[in-house]
Amino acid sequence: MLLLDEITFRLRKAEKLVEDAEKEFRMGLYERYCSTVYYAMFHAAKALILSINEDAKTHIGTIYSV
């Protein structure tokens, strides 16, 4: 996958997860909401890291890269 394609994929995934999280919150599914928001932030962070031509292979690596 090309770098720009991967960045776009990650950002779209993050946007979709935010939409899902909003629905979960309205339904009172707060634990699920927290998990979904976490993954939205993870994908957005991965896009950011990729945009500076870096990469992190794990969740913890992504956290420390940002």
Q: What is the pLDDT of residues 6-46, one digit of tens each?
A: 999 999 999 999 999 999 999 999 999 999 999 999 999 99
- Predicted local confidence at residue 6, as pLDDT: 93
| Alpha carbons 24 and 29: distance in angstroms, whole number | 5
- pLDDT at residue 61, as a whole number: 84
Residues in the chain: 66
Half-sphere exposure of 7 (CA within 13 A, CB side): 12
Spatial contact of 17 and 40, defined as CB atoms under 8 Å apart:
yes
> What is the separation of C-alpha 53 from the centre of its chain, rounded to a whole number of angstroms?
17
- Say how far apart CA 66 and CA 44 lie, in whole Å: 10
Give all domains of the chain, ordered by start, each with its CATH number. 3-65 (1.20.120.330)
Res 26: pLDDT: 98
For residue 66, what pLDDT is reported?
62
Residue 1: predicted pLDDT: 64
Q: How many CB atoms lie within 10 A of CB 1?
A: 8
